[in-house]
Amino acid sequence: MTQQTSPCLRFTPSAWAKLLFLRDCGDTEVGGFGIAPIDDLLLIEDIQLVRQRTSWAHVEFDDESVADHFDRNVEAGRRPEQFARIWIHTHPGDCPEPSLTDEDTFDRVFGRSEWAMMFILARGGDTYARLRFNVGPGGEVLVPATVDFSVDFSASETDQWEQEYAENVFAETTAGSIRTVERIPNHSDPEDSFEDFELSDGWQEYMEQELAFAGELL
């Protein structure tokens, strides 16, 4: 009889170090996408940020930057499940439990994917990870998260991580934030923003086309 293995979200040591660094760069939430190899989709090798406005309680992604994220990863030969299914964000407090906004976001944005993962890292170190299946009868399960020291990993690259944070995270004015700005550069219309991670109709159409294109190409 084959023994069933329960799912577990794993981070390489370098990816985990980067996430801790990004969490502690400022005193607001910060969000991004987990990047995984095609043969191990629950192993996070990297966290990629997109341009975002952040506060203590929310993250607002920039539509154009999310589109660029899809373009870059498709051009790099990745399939959508490697770069668009694991939503990672931090909480500046000690509680990793998802907020009502988090739950609404997970339903609206990721409810049409075959599967998706929401992962939250709190300031105090506690984590929350939930895997959802949207095919067949559907379902969801809380999963453990761990750092996998059995895989090869590189040294920390704090200079690059800080640059990525500075180029993408634009915090509302709060003491301790690395960056404080009034608006996201090159964001022409605030009404088109990816507020609280909500996909605009135009972006939803783009993503569906991009996923279909990536599936045919790869």
Cα 59 to Cα 48, 102, 128, 138, 210: the distances in Å are 15, 10, 17, 27, 23
pLDDT score, position 169: 96
pLDDT score, position 207: 57
State mean pLDDT over 18-37.
Answer: 96
184 in any annotated domain? yes
> Is the pLDDT reported for residue 179 higher than 80?
no
Cα 159 to Cα 16, 65, 155, 156, 163: the distances in Å are 16, 22, 12, 9, 6
pLDDT score, position 217: 44
3 in any annotated domain? no
Tally of structural domains, the chain: 1
According to DSSP, residue 146 is labeled: E
2 in any annotated domain? no
23 in any annotated domain? yes
pLDDT score, position 212: 59
What's the pTM?
0.80
Q: Of 100-109, 171-180, 202-211, give the range with the top mean pLDDT.
A: 100-109
Q: Using DSSP bridges, classify how beta strands 59-61 and 46-49 pair: parallel, antiparallel or unpaired.
A: unpaired
195 in any annotated domain? yes
According to DSSP, residue 175 is labeled: T
1 in any annotated domain? no
Range of 122's domain?
9-217
Tens digit of pLDDT for each residue in 121-169? 999 999 999 999 988 888 999 999 999 999 888 778 999 999 999 999 9
Domain at 44, CATH number: 3.40.140.10
41 in any annotated domain? yes
115 in any annotated domain? yes
